[in-house]
């Protein structure tokens, strides 16, 4: 069957088997390997992407069901060459180690901040409670999201010159 959707702002159309899972469609049909998978039972959340702005577990959504919808993956977090504040926050506050759960965590954080720009720590913990990180112990993820909340991106028109760019990535913060 043919499916069409918008992925990171780009219209895509592919012929697939109806049983293709959205995570496989993203990874294998589109080659966007930033979205991972870690279980089969929608427990781990490494496959989280945004569907119409809401985090969903893409291992438990058929690509066919995403037909006509808007999908955003980790590859779509960088806008105009500038990192999303969430991405910057994860680097600033050591919100990642092996990096495997990170894309899903960042997308959930992005969706949270879009709805609630100043969450408290417990709201952040609640928001990511369907996603497992085996490395960080979560505290630094919470700090990363708080960093992003404290450093919102400038509006889209000014995004190119945003101070959240890559040049800061090696900055010493000691």
Residues 46-105 that bind another protein (CB under 8 A): 46, 48, 54-57, 59-62, 64-65, 67, 73-75, 77-78, 83, 87-88, 90-92, 94, 96-103
**Min separation Cβ 159 and another protein, Å:** 16
The angle that helices 139-150 and 102-115 make with each other, rounded to 10 degrees, is 40
Residue 114 parent element (H or E): helix 102-115
Q: Among residues 50 and 154, whose Cβ is nearest to another protein? A: 50
Tell me which of 71, 82, 133, 149 binds another protein, using CB under 8 A.
133
Q: Does 130 bind another protein (CB under 8 A)?
A: yes
The residues near 79 (Cβ < 8 Å, ≥ 6 apart) are: 153, 156, 159
The footprint of another protein on this chain (CB under 8 A) covers a number of residues equal to 85
State which of residues 4, 9, 10, 18 lies at the interface with another protein (CB under 8 A): 18
Verify binding: residue 153, another protein, rule CB under 8 A: no
Taking the alpha carbons of 152, 155, 159, 161 in that order, is the dihedral positive or negative? Answer: negative
């Amino acid at each position: 069957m043919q499916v069409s959707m918008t992925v990171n702002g780009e219209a895509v159309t592919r012929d697939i088997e109806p049983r293709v899972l959205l995570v496989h469609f993203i990874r294998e049909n589109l080659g966007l390997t930033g979205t991972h998978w870690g279980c089969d039972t929608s427990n781990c959340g490494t496959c989280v992407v945004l569907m119409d702005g809401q985090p969903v577990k893409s291992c438990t959504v058929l690509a066919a069901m995403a037909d006509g919808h808007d999908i955003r993956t980790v590859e779509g977090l960088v806008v105009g060459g500038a990192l999303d504040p969430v991405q910057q926050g994860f680097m600033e506050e050591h919100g990642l180690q092996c990096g495997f759960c990170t894309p899903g965590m960042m997308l959930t954080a992005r969706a949270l901040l879009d709805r609630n720009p100043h969450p408290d720590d417990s709201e952040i913990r609640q928001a990511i409670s369907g996603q497992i990180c085996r490395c960080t112990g979560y505290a630094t993820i919470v700090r990363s999201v708080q960093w992003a909340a404290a450093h919102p991106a400038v509006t889209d028109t000014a995004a190119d010159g945003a101070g959240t760019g890559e040049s800061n990535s090696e900055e010493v913060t000691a």
